[in-house]
Amino acid sequence: MEANSLRLFKKGFSDGIPIGIGYVPLMVALGVMAVKIGLGFGISQLMYCLLYSGTGMAAVLNLVSSGEMMVFTYLLTFCIVNCRYVLLSISMSQKLDPKMSTFSRMIFAFFNTDEIFAVAMQQKGFLQTPYLFGISLFPFLASVVGMFLGLVFTNFLPASVSSAFGILLYAMLLALIVPPMRGSRAVSSVILLAAGISTLLECNPFIRRFLSSGWIMIACSVFTALLGAVFFPVDSSNKKEIVNEQ
């Protein structure tokens, strides 16, 4: 049992490494931004550790630099953007080891991110506690260190390099959603539909006038997943071909 936990922890830790590497340039950029708008070193790191969210931190920095005083407006926008976590967590709850303790679940919930979720959901079988703690460790440390680098060396990354790194996390998400498309009509349909609808809505100035991209993301995800459930219901008999385990 002990040896098995250690093995799972190590597997999780190595799965977390690419995610952590992806966070570094993003966090360097946020650190540089924090220095530019005159936030202190300690308070920037403290805020980041409380939030542990790149998009959240970017939102806070925008709030500070714009001198926005209405904390409530900001909270509301922030909630809308983060509504996706409810969907992701509900989906993930089905994949956790039923024996995982409430305490471990509460700890893991803090360290869960979009990317960790995406990688963990690709694993076969139930997710065990040691694996989840293992995968959580490196991304958190890497992003704190990344922000530190940005705060200390504001010219750490030349513009051409940080522009290129901008695509890294998105490319990683593509690396997670593209392979399951092979050989599964159901998954490809859902992904292509989501991509199409999301693009149509995001690029439509009329819709953008009253729907923020957070809302568009939620609406588009719920709609396509519903269509998937209607047209390609998953049960134990056809699970193998839809999941397309290789």
Partner 1 sequence: MDNNALVLAVFLMGGTQYLLKMIPLVFLKKKVENKFLSSFLFYIPYAVLTSMTIPEIFNSTSHVISASVGALIAVILGLMNQGLIVVSLSATVAVFIVEKIMNIF
* DSSP labels, 58-122: HHHHHHHHHT---HHHHHHHHHHHHTHHHHHHHHHHTTB-TT--HHHHHHHHHH--HHHHHHHHT
Closest CB to partner 1 among residues 129, 149: 129
Shortest Cβ distance from residue 2 to partner 1 (Å)? 25
Task: Using the structure block, give the residue that is written with the tokens 């009253």.
Answer: 210
Shortest Cβ distance from residue 37 to partner 1 (Å)? 11
User: How far apart are alpha carbons 129 and 12 in whole angstroms?
Assistant: 10
Shortest Cβ distance from residue 3 to partner 1 (Å)? 26
Return the structure tokens found at 21.
């590497």
Closest CB to partner 1 among residues 38, 210: 38
Contact 26/146 with Cβ under 8 angstroms? Answer: yes
Closest CB to partner 1 among residues 2, 227: 227
Closest CB to partner 1 among residues 3, 210: 210
Q: Is 127 helix (H, G, I), strand (E, B) or coil?
A: strand
Rg of the Cα atoms in the chain:
20
Shortest Cβ distance from residue 98 to partner 1 (Å)? 6
